[in-house]
Amino acid sequence: MRQAGICSIIGATLLASTAMAQDAGPVAGASASTAHPDLWPQARSRGLVDPATEAFVTELMTRMSLEEKVGQMIQADTSAITPDDLRRYPLGSILSGGSSPPLGRPDRSPGPDWAATVNAFEAVAMEPRTGHTAIPLIFGIDAVHGNNNVVGATLFPHNIALGATRNLDLTRRIGDATAQETAAAGIHWAFGPTLAVPQDDRWGRTYEGYSEDPQLVRAFSGAMVEGLQGKPGLTTIQVGRVAASAKHFLGDGGTTSGVDQGNTELSEAELIATHAPGYPPAINGGVMTIMASFNSWNGQKMHGNRSLLTDVLKGRMGFDGFIVGDWNGHAQVAGCTKTDCAASFNAGLDMAMAPDSWQGLFDTTLAQVRAGTIPMERVDDAVRRILRVKHRLGLFDTARPFADRPGVIGAPAHRAIAREAVRQSLVLLKNDGVLPLRPDAKLLVAGTHADDIGLQSGGWTLSWQGDGNSNADFPNAQSIYAGLAEAVRAGGGSATLSADGSFTDRPDAAIVVFGEMPYAEGRGDVRTLEFEAGDKQSLALLQRLKAAGIPTVSVFLSGRPLWVNPELNQSDAFVAGWLPGSEGGGIADVLIAGPDGAPRHDFRGRLSFSWPKTAGQFTLNVGQDGYDPLFPYDYGLSYAQGGSVPQLAEEAGVDASLANTGVFFARGRVPGPFALQLDDTVTQGAVDSPLLQEGALQLRWRGAGTARITGPELALSRETNGDTALQLQYRMDRVPAGPVQLTLGNGALDVAGLLVAGGWRSLRVPLHCFAPATADAPVTIRAAPPFTLSLAEARLVNGPEGAQCPAK
Ligand code: BGC
Ligand code: BGC
């Protein structure tokens, strides 16, 4: 497995201000998280409500039991439910999350395994049984850049790249192809488009947004909804359309410090102006579902905000589809848990995404309806909306001509659209005349991302984080190197792959493809916009080529604009390639000239996000006061219209150590911004680690006392909700007689029982055992003699094996 940069594997965030990631309830006094609907834009769902559908739903509802109604309101994940469970729990929907494979199959499985999974659940839902009302399921998946969980599917560039194309017709065609490939895997519902308007590029989901500019997001919204669903009223699964889900409502792109699932602190007018514009076109275009967001608005979680979910979205904006929750998002509402949240349903949530919590949530919700805590009218409204969508989508008609239809997934016509999108999304930032490259040139192709389809596709690719993929997992795809090689081979030239840039035969030019390692959601949150802060491997490669006098073209792959001034200075040409997906050949189409030396395709991409001049321009957005980017919004050079870039300043403007939010001890030292503090009773000495001479620190307790690693405040609620653990690599040299207290944030645990003597070991404690919201001392060990512990490493890791809470 590849090792991602610290900042990309660990989403922990250093707090710049006290963002409230957890619901603190509405801000006291002023009702700053209560919306005034008449201030909001109006909209009207089209194509969802019609007399025949409503009559059908009314009749059906008269036959449904209360259990069946509550079941419609709950969605489970395939990783935590079997088809058989549906006999006892008549749920209305199933999803497969980013890390959930098809039933009984490994991750990275092809279309037929998915269709079989959907069928297995559907068969039970539709089974004739006494006392059971047969109602089709709606099965959803994150088809966010193509049907990206399915092996062989066409992978389109992520939304940030589509924003750079400015091409709405192309986006519509991408939506159409994505819908077909989703329906061909038997799936009914795509959890997209993301209508976030990312305002702080440290946010790990920046690439899921089309633009920092609300008006551009507005334009893309209508195009993608029409692509996925077709024109209002024409969305049926029988013609290869799927339900879309505009997400995440509302303000996901506006959280303080760009913290995923954080708090969006804005006036109502700002929330409307910046974050709402994508929704009216989606609703007017007939979008069938809208996903509630994890974030808070002024301290109140969106899953519990009645004024926004009900009064604004269903009232003022006339939304007639249903609101689905995000992954246990209801659990973050004040007073709720994963299995108990009347407040969210009462606020207007129609279907809770309860991946692993569906059973408990079903039981509790049923009891709450019986007790009147959730009014029957609310249940009937939610169920009507869900059944309306199912009916309009054609799910009551069992014909599924697209499911398993051969030739749809990865169809050449779809791949051609994706390749067109790659070509059009490339933004030329700099060209000193080296581009286009002649087709008969002898090229060196270098860099970490040159021949790696997983890396060029980013997060949400076969796995949730987009990690762990190899080229063999992409049967219908081409790496960037393979595309370049094909183009020059056809033109009489040659391309040699050399990841580290070394060569024996001197090339005419080098293309270096490098960038961010894949990430999704909070794991992509970063602390500075400096690329490869503290570890400038790609820059070193560029410097070597420059020193050798080789003309060099950089192709930079990233989910956001990053500060790359040193890399720009070392490059003769520099292309922002975003996250292009399966069609690496689209890069060669633009970089490699035709036989006559003239470009085959010009650069057309223009920045939909402003490019920063320093690593500290986190919230650089077009239209703001004092706007001072390196490359402004809309920037993009072309062959037709050149433009040169002068030597750039190489001061990052931000302390690189801030990028480190998850490594507290490694290689014999405490890396910045963290520091070690020992009580007088604890002494230290260097010892060897398994890897390194003097790579570990031996801590000896001479009296009761504390060893503590301190640093700036870290926001950890996102990690605590997930599967992140604190991992210590240690050797216990003297066994303690009493407790060994390990503290993180506000949580303290006695880990004496988990420590094992004899050799180097790893202690892994899930963050949820500590339940920290924040921490300014990520590791504190309190003990009394006898106790001697050698420490080789202390860090946060995601999803490790064998993590456990100590016994109470
Ligand atoms: C994400 C959503 C996604 C859902 C299902 C959540 O964690 O925020 O965007 O649709 O999971 O995978
Ligand atoms: C799921 C994702 C989901 C995430 C939320 C993962 O395990 O696979 O789909 O978005 O959890 O934390």
**Which protein residue's CA is at the shortest distance from atom 11 of ligand 1?**
327
CATH number of 46-392: 3.20.20.300
Q: Which one is predicted more confidently, 23 or 331? A: 331
**Confidence band (pLDDT; 50, 70, 90) for 691?**
confident
* Separation of CA 480 and ligand 1 centre (Å): 29
> Looking at ligand 1, which atom is closest to the CA of residue 464?
12
Residues in contact with ligand 1 by the CB-under-6-Å rule are 97-98, 142, 191, 247, 326-327, 521
Q: Whose CA is nearest to atom 5 of ligand 1?
A: 97
| Highest mean pLDDT out of 25-39, 74-88, 772-786 | 74-88
Average pLDDT, the chain: 94
- Encode pLDDT of 468-502 as tens digits: 999 999 999 999 999 999 999 999 999 999 999 99
pLDDT digits (tens, 9 = 90+) for 161-184: 999 999 999 999 999 999 999 999
Contact (Cβ atoms closer than 8 angstroms) between residue 217 and residue 278: yes
Mutate to test the pocket of ligand 2, among 189, 327, 717 (most ligand atoms within 8 A of CB): 327
Determine contact, residues 777/716, Cβ cutoff 8 Å: no
Q: Which residues of 356-365 are buried (b: 16+ CB within 10 A; e: fewer)?
A: bbbbebbebb
In angstroms, the Cα distances linking 387 to 43, 53, 108, 302, 342 are 22, 9, 32, 24, 21
Q: Closest Cα to atom 8, ligand 1: which residue?
A: 326
What's the pLDDT score for residue 250? 98
Atom number in ligand 1 closest to CA 98: 12
DSSP string covering 58-83: HHHHHH--HHHHHHHTEEEETTS--G
Under a CB-based contact definition with an 8 Å cutoff, are residues 703 and 681 in contact? yes
Name the active-site residue from 265, 521, 532, 567.
Answer: 521
Ligand minimally distant from the alpha carbon of residue 100: 2
The alpha carbon of 32 and the centre of ligand 1 are apart by a number of angstroms equal to 27
pLDDT per residue as tens digits for the range 630-645: 999 999 999 998 888 9
Q: Which ligand is closest in space to the CA of residue 245? A: 1
CATH architecture, domain 660-798: Sandwich (2.60)
Looking at ligand 1, which residue's alpha carbon is closest to its atom 6?
327
Distance CA 678, CA 659 (A): 25
Residue nearest to atom 12 of ligand 2 (CA): 722
Q: List the strands of the sheet with 675-678, edge to edge.
A: 675-678, 705-710, 779-783, 741-744, 747-750
What pLDDT was estimated at residue 526? 93
Q: CA 228 → CA 146, 351, 429, distances in Å?
A: 10, 21, 32
Q: Which tens digit of pLDDT belongs to each residue from 25-60? A: 554 434 489 999 999 999 999 999 999 999 999 999
16 pLDDT above the threshold of 50: no
Which ligand 1 atom lies nearest to the CA of residue 97?
A: 12
Provide the pLDDT confidence category of residue 8 given band limits of 50, 70 and 90.
very low
> Mapping DSSP to helix (H, G, I), strand (E, B) and coil, where does residue 803 land?
coil
Inform me whether the pLDDT recorded for 24 exceeds 70: no
Q: Kindly give the distance from the C-alpha atom of residue 206 to the centroid of ligand 1, in angstroms, as a whole number.
A: 14
For 762-769, what is the mean pLDDT?
Answer: 95
Q: For residue 96, report the distance from its CA to the centre of ligand 2, in Å.
A: 9
Q: Are the beta carbons of 162 and 211 closer than 8 angstroms?
A: no
Distance 680 CA to ligand 1 centre (A): 48
Distance CA 782, CA 58 (A): 64
Q: What is the pLDDT of residue 23?
A: 56
Tell whether the model's pLDDT for residue 7 goes beyond 60. Answer: no
CA quadruple 255, 167, 580, 545: dihedral, nearest 10 = -100
- Beta strand segments in 447-520, E: 494-497, 509-515
> Which protein residues are within 6 Å of ligand 2, measured from CB?
97-100, 327, 464, 722
Mean pLDDT confidence for 583-587? 98
452 part of the active site = no
pLDDT tens for 641-681 read: 888 899 999 999 998 888 888 999 998 899 989 999 999 99
Nearest-atom number in ligand 1 for the CA of 194 is 9
Say how many Å lie between the CA of residue 679 and the centre of ligand 2.
Answer: 41
Nearest CA to ligand 2 atom 7: 99
Taking the mean position of all CA atoms in its chain, how far away is CA 299? 23
Distances (CA, A) of 452 to 9, 159, 466, 488, 579: 18, 20, 12, 19, 12
| Ligand 2 atom showing the smallest separation from residue 521 Cα | 10
The closest residue, in CA terms, to atom 2 on ligand 1 is: 326
Residue 88 CB coordination number (10 Å): 9
Contact 582, 418 (CB under 8 A): yes
Local confidence band at 385 (pLDDT 50, 70, 90 cut-offs): very high
- CB-based contacts of 472, cutoff 8 Å, min separation 6: none
Instruction: Report the residue among 326, 338, 523, 721 best suited for mutation to probe ligand 1: largest number of ligand atoms under 8 A from its CB.
Output: 326
Ligand lying nearest the CA atom of residue 295: 1
Query: For 205-249, what is each residue's pLDDT tens digit?
Result: 999 999 999 999 999 999 999 999 999 999 999 999 999 999 999
The closest-lying atom of ligand 2 relative to the alpha carbon of residue 97 is: 9
pLDDT at residue 61 greater than cutoff 50: yes
Nearest 10 degrees: Cα torsion 276, 281, 285, 286 = 20
Helix (H) or strand (E) holding 587: helix 585-591
* pLDDT of 347 over the 70 cut: yes
Is 521 an active-site residue? yes
Supply the pLDDT for residue 801: 85
User: What pLDDT is stored for residue 491 in this prediction?
Assistant: 96
**Which sequence spans correspond to the domains of the chain?**
46-392, 426-656, 660-798
**CA 167 – ligand 1 centroid, Å:** 26
416: closest CA among 172, 600, 585?
585
Which ligand lies nearest the alpha carbon of 144?
1
**Pocket test residue of 77, 327, 463 for ligand 1, highest count of atoms within 8 A of CB:** 327
pTM score: 0.91
SS3 (DSSP) at 243: strand
Q: Which ligand is nearest to the CA of 462?
A: 2
| Strand-pair partners of 555 | 513, 575
Which CATH number among 3.30.70.1520, 3.40.190.10, 3.40.50.1700, 1.20.1300.10 corresponds to the domain 426-656?
Answer: 3.40.50.1700
Compute the distance from residue 97 Cα to the ligand 1 centre, in Å: 7
Q: Do the bridges between strand 263-264 and strand 296-297 make them parallel or antiparallel, or are there none, so unpaired?
A: parallel
Q: How many CB atoms lie within 10 A of CB 804?
A: 12
Probe target for ligand 2 pocket from 79, 99, 523, with the most ligand atoms within 8 Å of CB:
99
Percent helix, strand, coil in the chain, to 5, is 30, 20, 50
- Give the CA dihedral 322, 325, 327, 330, nearest 10 degrees: -160
Point out the ligand nearest to the CA of residue 142. 1
pLDDT at 808: 75
Catalytic residue among 122, 142, 326, 340: 326
Please choose from 95, 145, 191 the residue to mutate so as to test ligand 1's pocket, defined by most ligand atoms within 8 A of CB. 191
pLDDT tens, position by position, 390-439: 999 999 999 999 999 999 999 999 999 999 999 999 999 999 999 999 99
Pairwise CA distance, residues 436 & 509, whole Å: 11
Confidence of residue 18 (pLDDT cuts 50, 70, 90): very low
Q: Cα-atom radius of gyration of the chain, to the nearest Å?
A: 27
State the Cα–Cα distance between residues 569 and 564, nearest whole angstrom: 9
Please report the atom of ligand 1 found closest to the CA of residue 355.
Answer: 5
Query: Rounded to the nearest whole angstrom, what is the distance from the C-alpha of residue 142 to the centroid of ligand 1?
Result: 7
Question: How far is the centre of ligand 1, averaged over its atoms, from the C-alpha of 718 (Å)?
Answer: 13
Closest CA relative to residue 219, chosen from 264, 280, 150: 280
* Nearest atom, ligand 2, residue 722 CA: 12
What are the φ/ψ torsions at residue 654 (nearest 5 degrees)? -140, 140
Cα(380) to ligand 1 centroid in Å equals 26
| Atom of ligand 2 at shortest range from CA of 464 | 8
